[in-house]
Every structure is written in structure tokens, then in C-alpha cells.
Structure 1
């Protein structure tokens, strides 16, 4: 086996996805992923902490990216529209980076309770980061938490729609569509 190749990370990710989809996440080992990629376990460890990391590597950057994007939005914009703008801005960048494996990744995660739990933790971190950034913009904490939770739901729904048909629209557009759907559905809701 070749010890190091510059495209090793992508080869490992591709091999892992193929194996996860064929045999199920729980039935695949790191050794099998490395062998399928024509690399060693040691090479795998250079890129990923464990096999979950193949699916979630870089996800720790999402809360930071969204909070930073929210801080950059025009301060005259209200909290909710500012958050929607930040979601769309990050969605535009993220869509370019994760397009290759997004649908496969979603399919693998949906088949594993362990991975679903990790995804939930990721989205909780996103909500916390959005909420904190909204407070920094002057929104009260309770409203910030509510908006952040709704923002995560919009982001998730947009992401799901995008992975279902990534060539029909970009991720930012799908996020805007999800926000529009919420707006349209909420028009008839009254707080009794």
C-alpha cells in the first residue's frame, strides 16, 4: 500500500461512503475503509479521528461560520431577517464544499442512531452559536434562543431539500425557500 498520497483524504472519504452505503455504518471498520482506499490505518488517522469523523469532519466550523456571518450582516436589519441572511450566506459557501457527498452522508446518518445523535449535537451547537450572536446584535436572550432554534430548523429543511435535488437549486436558495414556507404557513397562526 502507498503510504502517502495528496488525495488521500478524499479517497478515504469516498471509500468510507461506498462501504457505509453497501454494508451499513455499524458494519464497517476503519481498516476496511483504509484497505478500500488503498491506504493504511495510519494514513486514515492522519485525516480522521475515527470513522464518524469521515461524516462530520469540519462540522465544528459550522457554528462559528454562522455566528461570524450573522455578525457581518447589516446591523440595521432586525434579528430574524439578519439570521436568515446569515444562513443563506453560509449556505452559499457550504453548498460548494459539501456537494459531492451530501446526499450519501445524509443517507448514512439516517440509518444510524449513533450518527443521528451526533448530528443533533452539531445542530445544538449551531443553535447556541446563533443565539449568542443574536444577543450580541441586541436581541433579548429569550427571543434569540427562539429565533436560533427556528433558524436551525430552516437550515436543516433547506439542506434536506437541497440534498434531494442538488442540481435543481443551490443550498442558499433552498434555505430561502424553507424560510418562505415557514412565513407562509405562519401567516394564519394566531397566538390564542
Structure 2
């Protein structure tokens, strides 16, 4: 494979997920990931600082899309309507490849304490992005934090359902994430 062939980043992620699944996270080296992806180690390090970062590829873009979705929600929209707009916006970056990778990434994360820690940091980062965007809209701090956390939980639940659906039903990630958000809203009303 040519050194400058496009798609190296995606190939690196796919190679890493396959290797993490086959032999475990700890036993997988950067050299093995690069070889499987058909690139050099230096190409790996142009895309990722270390192997942990492979499974959170796109986190910055995801945070940006969540923030933009909230910022672009209609004036006067409730915090949850703004979060729904964020989920719809962020869902646009998730295509069929992401759907297929979902269960494999979940298995790799479940098998590694280090990846579980990195996944938790990703969750905090996504919630912080939504909270900050809600605060910029004038949402009170506690409400913004709660809405941001619910948004992340809805996204994660929606993504899990979307990626684990055996028969692709034509529904996009946004529909699953919004359905999860509605379930969480209903569940939160039953807390009293």
C-alpha cells in the first residue's frame, strides 16, 4: 500500500480494533497496528499520539458538533430541545463504518481497564462540551450540567442500540439517540 494512500486514519482504527479483539489491548503494539493498516509507524504517530487514542478518534469533532447543535437550536428552545439538536448534529458524523465498529469497540473497551478509563474521559469531555454550550445560551449551571450528562447518556445508549441492530432498519443514529433521550426524560420524571 502506498505511503500516501488516503484513508490511513480509518485503516489504523480498523486495524487496531481487529487486533485488540484478536489478542487484547495490552498485547497489541503500535508496530502491529501500523503493519496491519499498511502504513509505517511514523504515519501512525502523525495521526495518533498513542494506541489509546485510536478508540476515541473523532472526539474533538464530536465535541464541536455537539456544541454547534446546541448553539444553533432555535432561540427560546428548552435545554433538552437544544440537547436533541446537538444529538442530531453529532449523529451526522457517524456512518455505516461506525455502525459496524460499535460492537467491536465495545468489546475491546470492556476487556481493558486502560480503555475503560479513556472512554470515561471521553464521556466527561462530551458532557463538558454540551454543558459549556448550554451555559453560553444562558441555561442555569445545574440544569446545564444535568442536560449535558443526559445528552451523553442518550448518545451512548442510542449508539449502542443503533450499532447492535442486526437488521439495518433504515433508521439513522439520530433516531436512536433521540428515542433514548425521550426515554431518559420520561425516566427522570419518575424520580419524584
> TM-score, normalized by length of structure 2?
0.87
What is aligned with 1:95?
Answer: 94
Q: 2:184 aligns with which of 160, 182, 185?
A: 182
RMSD (Å), alpha carbons = 2.1
Which segments of 5 or more consecutive residues in structure 1 lack a partner in the other structure? none
Which segments of 5 or more consecutive residues in structure 2 lack a partner in the other structure? none
Shift of 1:72: 0.4
Shift of 1:71: 0.2
Q: Of the two, which has the highest radius of gyration?
A: 1
Q: 1:12 to 1:95 in 2, by over 3 A?
A: closer
Contact 1:4 1:43 in 2 (8 A): no
CA-to-aligned-CA distance 1:39-89 (integer Å, 9 cap, x gap): 322222222221122212221222222111100010121112221222123
SS at 2:75 equivalent: coil
Shift of 1:100: 4.3
Shift of 1:181: 1.6
Number of residues paired by the alignment?
189
CA-to-aligned-CA distance 1:140-160 (integer Å, 9 cap, x gap): 111111111122111111111
2: CA distance between counterparts of 1:8 and 1:151? 31
